Amino acid sequence: MTLRVLGVDPGLTRCGYGVLDAGIGRSASLVDVGVVRSRHEDTLDIRLLEIARGLEAKLEEHAPDVVAIERVFAQNNTSTVMGTAQVSGVAVLLAAQRGIRVAIHTPSEVKAAVTGSGRADKKQIQTMLVKLLGLDAPPSPADAADALAIALTQIWRGPGPVRLDAGGKARTSAQAVWAEAERSARRARDTSSSRF
């Protein structure tokens, strides 16, 4: 079983998408990467419709197990934040309509997962993506690279069977193992306390 993740870097002019398949250990392979565009001169409803149609086409084409989206943070430019948040909502809705699990990652979480530093810049992220995914060149534009980084973060840090062992079987992530250990410990405590 291979986990497929669609990463989304929400944006109203350029919405980045990146599709990765989880591989053995911490490896991942590139399936698709690019951006869905809308025209700045169009009205908001038309722009959101264009982004929705583009993301919908990618969901249909690749049938991901998880859609990972970068969390929107407030910036100085309120109109940019609003557009980004609206596109994020579109991506969540499209995934929910198909019963696809949604994960949200903060920008610093993505930077730390890919580069080891939560303060990395876009060039550092692109350089690491080339190395980690065995690419010939950094994905372009930056929105596409960011979407791949978001997908890679989900593969490495998301819950559930996200990695394959040497035999090609899904291996449970560390988070899932930890959660199960906590549940077992809680059950053991509850059982022992109910005896008294």
Which amino acid makes up residue 63?
Answer: A
Pairing, β 170-172 against β 161-164: antiparallel
Catalytic residue among 60, 109, 136, 143: 143
Query: CA torsion sign, 93 to 94 to 96 to 100?
Result: negative
Q: Both tokens of residue 190? A: 């509850």
CA 73 to CA 31: how far, in whole Å? 28
Catalytic residue among 9, 21, 65, 146: 9
CATH of the domain at 109: 3.30.420.10
CA 37 to CA 39: how far, in whole Å? 7
- Global confidence as pTM: 0.80
Cα-Cα-Cα-Cα torsion 2, 111, 54, 98, nearest 10 degrees, comes to 50
Give residue 8's domain range: 4-194
Tens digit of pLDDT per residue, the chain (196 long)? 689 999 999 999 999 999 999 988 889 999 999 999 999 999 999 999 999 999 999 999 999 999 999 998 766 677 778 889 999 999 999 999 999 999 999 999 999 999 999 999 999 999 999 999 999 999 999 999 999 999 999 999 886 444 444 554 444 443 443 344 445 555 655 655 555 5
- At 188 the pLDDT is 59
Active-site annotation holds for 9 = yes
Active-site annotation holds for 70 = yes
Q: Is 32 annotated as a binding residue?
A: no
Report the number of distinct structural domains present in the chain.
1
Decide: 12 and 84 in contact? Cβ < 8 Å. Answer: yes
* Half-sphere exposure at residue 14, Cβ-oriented, CA atoms within 13 angstroms: 13
Catalytic residue among 56, 60, 65, 70: 70
Q: Is 165 annotated as a binding residue?
A: no
Q: Is 70 annotated as a binding residue?
A: yes
